Amino acid sequence: MNLSKTTEYAIRILCYMASDKKQIFSAKSILDKIDIPQKYMRRIMTNLSKSNFIKSTHGRDGGYMFLKSPKTIYLSDIIESVEGLDKYLGCVLGFNECSGKNPCAMHNSWVDTRDKLFKTLTKTNLNDLNKKAYFKY
């Protein structure tokens, strides 16, 4: 399973910013490090700001900075902010009416995997990710 590009970019942006939690990051510096289209980044940053993970400051020395500690921002929060968790926690075959009472053909096989995925997403925060070598900038 892969995360969407939107979620991937949001996580990469926040991990980059978490490398120096007190710094104000210009849009240009983020664009240079993450290599994301500017219009796409603006939309992601708007969603992250609306979720109160970060705030934007305007003016010559403006940019983006954290409102919350990276230790309190979980993958599930980021996914919910930029696209919603339903895509990852709903029916694996995409049915709207899939449940224990009305299961699809894959329901019983998917439930344990879905629960493990949800547990991982709700227990992994930005600080955990930045301890790994994957996000060194």
* pLDDT, tens only, 25-56: 999 999 988 888 988 999 999 999 999 999 99
Joined tokens for residue 73: 């921002």
pLDDT at 134: 53
Question: pTM score, two decimals?
Answer: 0.86
pLDDT at 1: 64
Of 133, 114, 134, which Cα lies nearest the Cα of 122? 114
pLDDT at 137: 52
Please state, in angstroms and as integers, the Cα–Cα distance from residue 92 to each residue in 2, 4, 87, 114, 131, following that order. 13, 15, 9, 9, 31
Joined tokens for residue 40: 């796409």
Percent of the chain at pLDDT > 90 equals: 53
pLDDT at 91: 85
Please identify every stretch of the chain with a pLDDT value under 70, giving residue numbers as ranges. Answer: 1, 131-137
